[in-house]
Structure 1
Amino acid sequence: MSAAQDDDVQEFAASLRRLKDRTDRSYGQLARRLNMNTSTLHRYCAGDAVPLDFAPVERFAALCEATPEERLELHRRWILAVAARQRSRTAAPPATGGTDGAPSATEGPPDDSPAPVREEPAPGAPAHRPWYRRRRLLVSAAVATALLATLGSLSALPDDDRSRASDSVQGADPTRTEAADAPGPTSTASSKPSLTTPTPSGGTPTSKKSSVKPTGSADSPSKGAGPRQPPAGLPLTWSANSHVWQAGCGHDYVITKAPQQVPPPPAPQDAETWARTQGAVHGGQTLVKITVQGRTSTAVVLEALRVRVAGRAAPVEGTSYAMDHGCGGALTPRYFDVDLDKDRPIARPADGNDSGTTIPAMKLPYRVSAEDPEVLLVDARTDGCDCGWYLELDWSSQGRTGTVRIDDHGRPFRTTSTKGLPNYAYDTSAREWVPYN
């Protein structure tokens, strides 16, 4: 391989190493995500081998969050490296003469042999080129055609489409890298939106998705060094806890069991597990605490919070069990008030109170980031239905907008009326549930 050909391969390998060094992953971790051997990836980055297909290179660039301009430059360097490898393989080594004194393949005929007669082409006929020159022209034409077609198709796409073009061919999700690092099952992660939302009355599930809607399209990159485009994917994370009690102790659950079959009230931190094992439904009120945080230091603006009712049914026929006997402090945090009995419920900001001191209500839009998280408290109430509902949070960041769905681990939140139901509270001295009015 000539020095120029080796330079093409080494420049391609250096581009791969620069992208790899920007991540905090090892060769083994990247290879597992790319579904290839670690040694193979290391040989690509070291310049010992060049992939014959650009698909693994494109997946590698997407995994390293390369910009559209970096992907175009990487594709150009890959084409040159592949062509250099092919030229080095097809170049035949010079033949040497035999040991028996026979003339070598590169030597001319003996002096006493007649010189070969060269046929002149007929007038107007194309000149005949040797096979190796014809092959070199074909390879050059194919490389130039592929480069021009790629540059033309990618430059005609918006930035977001350019960054997702190769992922859609390979069947990959552009947010998969972020989703793999999302929190575990103890919190409801925004990168795993619900696909189906069963209604409380057992009706047909309704398909719902969290949407990310880019706004506008960026111009083609200029010759100068322009600003780096914002990365694709959801710029924020969130978690929701619907088993929050008023002032830390006041809450009602509706359970279709007799008092003798219901265990004592749990500690507030164990409320979710206790409620699920008893098949309990929030009675009359559901308090949802939502923690929202940006993924980076870049600001994300929370634009609006909407309430969606997935279904209404008749209230649950059961018994209302109170988790308190009037305990609690004088602190009432600010919150969003939701009346589920309205035809079109709206999340209205409400003031809080701390021992007579008003806590101003939270007003949207509101800004969050990785260093500036925010906690939203939603207070949803009903007096006349068994309501299934969820929330939609609109956001904007760096010229992009989107909406995330906030629900109860992929299902709608559920709140049922306690009107007309028998009420019980737990008597700690007698260690049993007693009627409570």
Structure 2
Amino acid sequence: MSEVRDDDVQEFAALLRRLKERTDRSYGQLARRLNMNTSTLHRYCAGDAVPLGFAPVERFAALCGATPEERLELHRLWILAVAARQRSRTAAAEAKGAAVTPPSDPAPEPAGEPARDPASPEPAQRPWYRSRRLLVSAAVTTALLATLGSLSALPDDRAKGSDSVEAVDPPRTTEPDSPRQKSSKSPSPSPSTPSPSADGSKKPSAKATGDTDRPSNKAGKPQPSTGVPLTWSADSHVWQAGCGHDYVIDKPPQQVPPPPNPQDAATWAATMGAVHGKQTLVRVTVQGKSSTAVVLEALRVRVVGRSAPMAGTNYAMDNGCGGALTPRYFDVDLDKDRPVARPADGNDSGVTIPAMRLPYRVSAEDPEVLLIDARTVACDCSWYLELDWSSEGRTGTVRVDDRGRPFRTTGNKGLKNYAYDTSARAWVPWEE
């Protein structure tokens, strides 16, 4: 019977491991998002322990992108694993009780009659270990009946598609059950609200902008959160594998200094008036402002300028480089009429790194990095990103750009190519 019980626990643990392997996250990263110890999560996945409640298992399944069918199967296996562990403990307790408490009366008792205490007319109580076994069975049955009916309503993090098209609305922030607030008007009168300016408009106070969430003094109710609940930063001068990148510059080689270090690329490119040639890699770091989860719902691309490729000379920052690691990224073809950000797998020495698929959760403790690979052959394109978010019933969109300006990428096909010869300390013609 112990083998059957072990099989129940191991089958439950095996499904946990299969779900975990779908992600590129370590046990530590997953445990942090689940608010549990890394060793505890590892014991669950190894079959050394079974969680007493299904809530952490449900959160784990959602984080790993389990389908509704997989969540239902996970719950069934969890019920069996819990029951198996409880039966195992009860059997051990019974064996221990039998060893230390031999029967005081060798005569058998009549079937169906409780044991009698000679000093008392009342029947003796049922042994504690039998009562426990009955309670365990009742608890497992109750859990099964209470949860099976609700599993069909479990959230599915993959319900929304990850491919997006251009938005028709401008960046926005909306509140539930309330009209959209206009920036020229404070949401509510307050002693701290400044007086109207000369043009009659009112500037919102710090509370109105949502930079701080403080309890309201009215009726003892907390003030609803306002403002954007996340922060972001973007670096558009990321080089392929840390060394490969092309810039188109309208200057002859004699006026172009040697390639910079990758960390100095932004300053070097701005000084030269350089434009990304053929490819722009943008690394966007997104983080919540508090421990409250913010869901990144969708990532969209908006092209705001399109013209013929820029004239000039193409300068390669490397003379051929490569690496064994290709991070996962969002692929964008700027030559499309309506470019979209499509999640793409990465690769680490032949091991696939699963693509990041939205929706995705971030918080102050769990930032996330999005890598966008935008390419063009036929245009000089100006573009930016729109990132949709939701948190605590509110939704909004932030614009991700190059410090207030659109990103810019130009095709470099047909241009003269130069690479830097470190031995000659000069730019020399180079053929791809």
Q: TM-score, normalised by structure 1?
A: 0.52
Matched residue, 1:165? 188
Letter matched to residue 187 of structure 2: R
Structure 1 pair 284–292 and aligned structure 2 pair: CA distance change class (3 A): same
How far the C-alpha of 1:328 sits from its partner, in A, is: 3.4
- State the SS of the aligned residue for 2:236: strand
Matched residue, 1:351? 345
- State the SS of the aligned residue for 2:266: helix
Q: Establish whether residue 298 from structure 1 lines up as the match of residue 321 from structure 2.
A: no
How far the C-alpha of 1:407 sits from its partner, in A, is: 0.5
Q: Establish whether residue 380 from structure 1 lines up as the match of residue 380 from structure 2.
A: no
Matched residue, 2:10? none
Letter matched to residue 423 of structure 2: S
User: 396, 402, 422: which one pairs with 2:396?
Assistant: 402
How far the C-alpha of 1:231 sits from its partner, in A, is: 1.7
User: 291, 314, 321: which one pairs with 1:320?
Assistant: 314
Q: Establish whether residue 263 from structure 1 lines up as the match of residue 257 from structure 2.
A: yes
Higher mean C-alpha displacement, 368-377 vs 169-178: 169-178
Distance of 2:330 and 2:415 partners within structure 1: 27
How far the C-alpha of 1:408 sits from its partner, in A, is: 0.5
How far the C-alpha of 1:278 sits from its partner, in A, is: 0.1
Distance of 1:179 and 1:241 partners within structure 2: 26
RMSD value, Cα: 2.8
Q: Give per-residue Cα distances to partners, 1:182-206, cap 9 Å, x unaligned.
A: xxxxxxxxxxxxxxxxxxxxxxxxx
How far the C-alpha of 1:169 sits from its partner, in A, is: 6.1
Structure 1 pair 157–431 and aligned structure 2 pair: CA distance change class (3 A): closer
Distance of 1:333 and 1:179 partners within structure 2: 35
Matched residue, 1:429? 423
Report which of the two structures shows the higher radius of gyration computed on alpha carbons.
1
Is the contact made by 2:237 and 2:266 (CA closer than 8 Å) also made in structure 1? Answer: yes
How far the C-alpha of 1:165 sits from its partner, in A, is: 2.3
Matched residue, 2:85? none
Q: Establish whether residue 249 from structure 1 lines up as the match of residue 243 from structure 2.
A: yes
Is the contact made by 1:230 and 1:398 (CA closer than 8 Å) also made in structure 2? Answer: no
Distance of 1:160 and 1:341 partners within structure 2: 37
How far the C-alpha of 1:362 sits from its partner, in A, is: 0.1
Q: Give per-residue Cα distances to partners, 1:315-349, cap 9 Å, x unaligned.
A: 11000000011223211000000000000000000
Distance of 1:399 and 1:286 partners within structure 2: 35
Distance of 1:250 and 1:389 partners within structure 2: 22
Q: Give per-residue Cα distances to partners, 1:183-234, cap 9 Å, x unaligned.
A: xxxxxxxxxxxxxxxxxxxxxxxxxxxxxxxxxxxxxx997x66x3432111
Q: Give per-residue Cα distances to partners, 1:102-146, cap 9 Å, x unaligned.
A: xxxxxxxxxxxxxxxxxxxxxxxxxxxxxxxxxxxxxxxxxxxxx
Distance of 1:304 and 1:168 partners within structure 2: 37
Runs of 4+ in 1 over 6 A off after TM superposition: 156-163, 176-181
Letter matched to residue 311 of structure 1: G
Distance of 2:350 and 2:307 partners within structure 1: 39
Is the contact made by 1:175 and 1:233 (CA closer than 8 Å) also made in structure 2? Answer: no
User: 301, 308, 317: which one pairs with 1:307?
Assistant: 301
Is the contact made by 1:281 and 1:414 (CA closer than 8 Å) also made in structure 2? Answer: yes
- State the SS of the aligned residue for 2:242: coil
User: 406, 410, 413: which one pairs with 1:416?
Assistant: 410
How far the C-alpha of 1:300 sits from its partner, in A, is: 0.3
Matched residue, 2:272? 278
Is the contact made by 1:332 and 1:353 (CA closer than 8 Å) also made in structure 2? Answer: yes
Is the contact made by 1:175 and 1:232 (CA closer than 8 Å) also made in structure 2? Answer: no
- State the SS of the aligned residue for 2:427: strand
Matched residue, 1:128? none
How far the C-alpha of 1:386 sits from its partner, in A, is: 0.2
Is the contact made by 1:164 and 1:174 (CA closer than 8 Å) also made in structure 2? Answer: no
Distance of 2:378 and 2:362 partners within structure 1: 36
User: 367, 371, 387: which one pairs with 1:393?
Assistant: 387
Is the contact made by 1:284 and 1:381 (CA closer than 8 Å) also made in structure 2? Answer: yes
Report 1:216-231 matches (<5 A): 228-231=222-225
Q: Give per-residue Cα distances to partners, 1:356-401, cap 9 Å, x unaligned.
A: 1000000100000000000000000000000000000000000100
Aligned length: 241
Matched residue, 1:34? none
- State the SS of the aligned residue for 1:275: helix
Is the contact made by 2:187 and 2:208 (CA closer than 8 Å) also made in structure 1? Answer: no
How far the C-alpha of 1:175 sits from its partner, in A, is: 5.6
How far the C-alpha of 1:179 sits from its partner, in A, is: 9.3
Distance of 2:349 and 2:413 partners within structure 1: 30
